[in-house]
Amino acid sequence: MRYLPLTPADRSAMLGVIGAGSVDDLFADVPAAARLSGPIAGLPRHASEMAVERHMAALAGKNVSAGSVPFFLGAGAYRHHIPASVDHLIQRGEFLTAYTPYQPEIAQGTLQVLFEFQTQVARLLGTEVANASMYDGSTACWEAVAMAARITRRKRAVLSGGLHPHYVATVQTMARFTGDEIDSRLPQLAAAPDDDALIAAIDAETSCVVVQYPDVLGRIPDLAKIAAVAQAQGALLIAVVTEPVALGLIEAPGKLGADIVVGEGQAIGVGLQFGGPYLGLFGCRDKFVRQMPGRLCGQTVDAAGKRGFVLTLSTREQHIRREKATSNICTNAGLCALAFSIQMTLLGGEGLGRMARISHARARQTAERLAQVPGVRVLNSAYVNEFTVLLPTDAREAVRRMADGGVLGGVSLGRLYPGAGDLSNGLLVAASECTTLEDIEALGVALEGVLA
Partner 1 sequence: MNAVNQAGWRPEMGQANAATRATSSGDRALMLEEALIFELGQPGTCGVDFGETDLPPLDSLAPFLRRDPLDLPGLSEPEAVRHYTRLSRQNYAIDLGPFPLGSCTMKHNPRLNEKVARMAGFADLHPLQPVSTVQGALGAINQLAHWLIELTGMHGVAMSPKAGAHGELCGLLCIKAALEARGEARTTILVPESAHGTNPATAAFAGFAVESIPATCEGRVDLAALTAKLGPHVAGVMITNPNTCGLFERDMKAISDAVHAAGGYVYCDGANFNAVVGKVRPGDLGIDAMHINLHKTFSTPHGGGGPGSGPVVLSAALSPFGPLPFTVREADGSVRLVEEEQAAHEHPQGFGRMAAFHGQMGMFTRALAYILSHGADGLQQVAEDAVLNANYVLCSLDDVLDAPFGASGPCMHEALFSDTGLAEGFSTLDIAKGLIDEGFHPMTVYFPLVVHGAMLVEPTETESKAGLDRFIASLRSLAERARAGDEALKSAPHFAPRRRLDETMAARKPVLVWQG
Partner 2 sequence: MTRYYTKDHEWIEVDGDTGTVGITDYAQGQLGDITFVELPDTGAALAKGDAPCVVDSVKAASDVYSPVSGTVTESNHALADEPELVNTQAESGGWLFRLTLSDAGELGGLMDRAAYDAFVGGL
254-293 positions binding partner 2, by CB under 8 A: 290
Sheet holding 411-412, edge to edge: 377-378, 386-390, 426-430, 411-412
DSSP state of 71: B
Shortest gap between Cβ of 49 and partner 1 (angstroms)? 5
**Measured from the CB of residue 153, what is the shortest distance to partner 2 in angstroms?**
10
The length of the chain is 452
Q: Is residue 330 involved in binding partner 2 (CB under 8 A)?
A: no
Of the candidates 320, 330, 371, 437, which one interacts with partner 2 according to CB under 8 A? 320
In the complex, least distance from residue 241 CB atom to partner 1, rounded to whole angstroms: 13
Please pick, from the candidates 108, 119, 231, 314, the single residue that binds partner 2 as defined by CB under 8 A: 314
Residues sharing a CB contact under 8 Å with residue 391, sequence separation 6 or more, in sequence order: 375, 376, 398, 425, 426, 427, 447, 451
Q: Decide if residue 300 touches partner 2 (CB under 8 A).
A: no
Q: How far is the CB of 200 from partner 1 (least distance, A)?
A: 22
Q: Which does 360 bind (CB under 5 to 8 A by kind): partner 1, partner 2, none?
A: partner 1
> CB-wise, 209 or 272, nearer to partner 1?
272
Cβ atoms of 73 and 66 within 8 Å: the answer is yes
Q: Which of 77, 435, 125, 109 is nearest to 261 (CA)?
A: 125
In the complex, least distance from residue 290 CB atom to partner 2, rounded to whole angstroms? 7
Rounded to 10°, the helix 165-178/137-152 angle is 40
177 binds, among partner 2, partner 1, none (CB under 5 to 8 A by kind): partner 1
DSSP 349: H
For partner 2, the binding residues in 79-108 under the rule CB under 8 A are none
Q: What are the start-end ranges of the H helices in 153-202?
A: 165-178, 195-200
Residues in the interface with partner 2 (CB under 8 A) total 7
8/374 with CB nearer partner 1:
8
Asked if residue 173 binds partner 2 (CB under 8 A), the reply is: no
Residue 438 contacts which entry, partner 1, partner 2, none (Cβ below 5-8 A, type-dependent): none
**Burial category of 403 from C-beta neighbours within 10 Å (exposed 0-12, middle 13-18, buried 19 and up):** middle
Stretch that binds partner 2, among 9-17, 171-179, 314-322, 361-369 (CB under 8 A): 314-322
- How far apart (Å, rounded) are the C-alpha atoms in residues 203 and 152? 13
Q: Please, which residue, 77 or 260, has the CB nearer to partner 1?
A: 77
Please identify, using beta-carbon distances, which residue of 35 and 322 lies nearer to partner 2.
Answer: 322
Evaluate the omega torsion of the peptide bond into residue 187 and state whether it is cis, within 30 degrees of 0.
no
Interface with partner 2 (CB under 8 A), residue from 12, 30, 321, 392: 321
Taking the C-alpha atoms of residue 275 and residue 186, their distance in angstroms, rounded to an integer, is 23
Alpha-carbon span 350 to 244, nearest angstrom: 14
Site residues (vs partner 2, CB under 8 A): 290, 313-315, 320-321, 324
